[in-house]
Structure 1
Amino acid sequence: MLNTELNRTGETRRFAGGTNQNLLQQVSIQSSPIFVVGCPRSGTSVLSLSMGLHPDLWVSAESNFLVNVVNDAKAAHAQCTTRGPRHWLSKESVGLEEYLQAHGLGINALYMSRSGGKRWVDQTPEYMLIARELAVTFPQARFLHLVRDGRDVVNSMINSGFPVEWANSFTKACQAWNRFTDAGVEFEGFVPERILRLHHEEIKADPESQFKRICAFLELDYDESMIQYYAKKKVVNSSFKQKGTTKSSWRKSWTQGQYDYFSKACSGNMQSFDYEVEDVPLPAGGPGDNARTEPGLPQVRFGEGFYPDEGGMVWSRRKAVFTLTKPPEAERAAFAFRVSCSLGAYYDAFPFVSTLRLDGEVIGRIPFQQDNHSMPLLLDLNGDDSEVEIEIETPAGFVPSKVSDTPDDRELSLLFSLEAVELVQDGEKRTVTGSGVAVSARS
């Protein structure tokens, strides 16, 4: 690919690093930069490093800042076109696409000022989530979309030790993998001629043929140096190496509950990427497997629509049912929950309410406001069993654009956390928490 050069006269300034640079004296633009995208922990690091071994390519660290550049540019264009011809962008007929491309020219020049004139490669996985905007901002860019078996990705996520939500929650890791794979599938349909899907496992199995595919797609001559990381089986950016732990596959470290959750939540995207989700017997235990029915314990049995998370049980449907059971020897049981609301991308749906029914009768309505996303819920039982039904009522005209059977950061969802159960027996009160309550995800 040839570089397009724009010559301008600029001024010389002294930067914080103490070096003199002649700004804008010669701006060089790469017509077809390369983005390596995919879900984090999919192998994007080793693929990008391998790309950097090609003599005509240049790779540096993950950039991340383009998320802010793109989002700020979109917000600025929306704000600065509200007054019609009294705003410069409107008067000069600068649409959002042209405005983004203008930002892209500056970023492109910045990369080229560091690449030594080589074609640059960006290796930021999270750009999968803004790939459509990047395709507009860099109208001739090419994208390498790396996918990997979701079980291996999630296993790597929860062992990464990264200071991000998905590193500390199995369910959040599953949701993150779904979010990235959804974005990848959508983007492949947006500009199919500019994106190449690659499987991490296929590159490991036959790096030479896969890198020849890559070079053909990028209109590069193949260079055998690109395969050395894979050929020598070098470990790059390993979760387990960073944490000082012994590598353990999901088959050895996951519980049956975790595998069942992944299979239900992620099977659709696994199939989209040609991975098979088979029945695998794993050790018992884990989320949703503590389905105890001891008669001496108060019990909470969550039904369909609930999924386990470390903080409690997440519900992501409009209506759901769970059952509360009072120990027969107790005269009364009061179940104290904390209910938290997450609207994800539907923040503007506030305020809304949830109607609560106990054994078919309406006993209350839970209001959720923008400044109050969490509130207590006390359910008092006199009978042995009671069925609780909760239904979300949203404002007229509010229709989520995504309907799913699993919780997702972009969906409206409620998190139920059982804090305690107060029992009255023989006139005496006692409070039980934790293992003193039998909680089950299976109705």
Structure 2
Amino acid sequence: MSLTTWLLEKASPSQTPFHAYRKRIRWTPKSQQRVNRWFASRRQVFFVLSTGRTGSRWLAGLLNTCQNASVFHEPIRWEQWAHREAIEQPESAESYIQQFRLKEIYLRVAGRPDERPVYGEVNGCLRRHAAAIASNLPQAVLLHVVRDGRDFVRSVCTRGTFAGAHPVYTGLRPPLDSEWPKDWSALSEFERACWMWANENSHLAAHVPTSLRFEDLVGSYEAFADGVLAPLQLDVPRAAWDAARTRPDNASTGVQAPHWTEWTASQSDTFWSICGEQMKRYGYQGAKEESLANAN
């Protein structure tokens, strides 16, 4: 176990490296006017948001090949803490962006020899901050990438994110809707993954005007060009996209959770009862019948 992992598991949130970095940035003198002027001077600012496990590292790497753009994948280590905070305390999202994140971007990027006129992030950790980004950076382009919920649930369960031992999400207490028969602590890992996919994508859809399916972005250059390159005013040649889409980045390793075709009938029923509305919203037609037909 690395020292950082040990600290994250043993320390209280206020003692973690993420929170120490956040405090240091907030105490670094820099006028808000200067930060605002820097953002206004950018040719483009964008944030591609998602639940994570949506090819975000792959997409950031591909977009960062554009000569005029600096594109980062989740540039702050353990920013999942900010995501957790925004779930449990939604009002924190505004101050996080306004008082910390804008200054953090400026201090990290402005004046660097490789500074470019376009700044972008592909960042699942900020998915609860979409409204705050829009209010503080009205010129920023926001995109929402969604992936088939069945693949997300499998990937998250493979990683054990909500199994009870994650350095950030252990002890998470999201406010569940009143119709839920039990609270978060009583949910299984599978149910938690389903809830996270459905709830987070519903939240993103409410605050980000454009939603794109991951499967379309890797399956069709035209979908990638129209959905991503056009609104971001970037250029990635077809050959570069074609080469990149065959090289998975940050894929889950080790023992894999069962593929959805190996789910039990109970698991399939659980998934569709929680995620069915959002699956339909994003056009995964026929997926329910396919899943139930394959259920054990």
The normalised TM-score by structure 2 is: 0.65
1:44 to 56, 59, 71: 56
2:234 to 220, 224, 249: 220
Counting aligned pairs with the same residue, the percent is 23
On the 8 A contact 1:207/1:230 being kept in 2, the answer is no
* Alpha-carbon separation, structure 2, partners of 1:102 and 1:144: 23
Match of 1:67 in 2: 82
Equivalent residue of 2:212, what SS? strand
* Alpha-carbon separation, structure 1, partners of 2:247 and 2:113: 25
Match of 1:107 in 2: 104
Match of 1:278 in 2: 288
Equivalent residue of 2:133, what SS? helix
Cα distance change on mapping 1:140 and 1:246 into 2, 3 Å: same
Structure 2 residues without counterparts, runs of 5 or longer: 1-28, 173-187
Is residue 138 of structure 2 the alignment partner of residue 139 of structure 1?
yes
* Alpha-carbon separation, structure 2, partners of 1:210 and 1:146: 11
Is residue 259 of structure 2 the alignment partner of residue 249 of structure 1?
yes
Match of 1:173 in 2: 193
On the 8 A contact 2:57/2:73 being kept in 1, the answer is no
Partner deviation per Cα, 1:162-205 (whole Å, 9 max, x = no partner): 42469x710000010011111112113xxx3xxx3211111121
* Higher RCO, Cα 8 Å, sep 6+: 2
* Alpha-carbon separation, structure 2, partners of 1:123 and 1:250: 27
More strand by share: 1
On the 8 A contact 1:46/1:229 being kept in 2, the answer is no
Q: More deviation in 157-166 or 129-138? A: 157-166
* Alpha-carbon separation, structure 1, partners of 2:81 and 2:119: 15
Larger Rg over CA atoms: 1
* Residues 145-164 of structure 1: pairs in structure 2 closer than 5 A: 145-162=144-161, 163=166, 164=169
On the 8 A contact 1:67/1:130 being kept in 2, the answer is no
Q: How many residues align?
A: 230
Q: Alpha carbon RMSD of aligned pairs, Å? A: 3.6
* Residues 406-417 of structure 1: pairs in structure 2 closer than 5 A: none
On the 8 A contact 1:39/1:181 being kept in 2, the answer is yes
Is residue 205 of structure 2 the alignment partner of residue 185 of structure 1?
yes
Equivalent residue of 1:175, what SS? helix
* Alpha-carbon separation, structure 1, partners of 2:104 and 2:193: 31
2:221 to 200, 207, 210: 207
On the 8 A contact 2:144/2:205 being kept in 1, the answer is no
Q: Please tell me the residue identity of whatever aligns with 1:35.
A: F
Cα distance change on mapping 1:75 and 1:205 into 2, 3 Å: closer
* Alpha-carbon separation, structure 2, partners of 1:136 and 1:123: 19
The normalised TM-score by structure 1 is: 0.45
* Alpha-carbon separation, structure 2, partners of 1:203 and 1:170: 27
On the 8 A contact 1:111/1:120 being kept in 2, the answer is no
More helix by share: 2
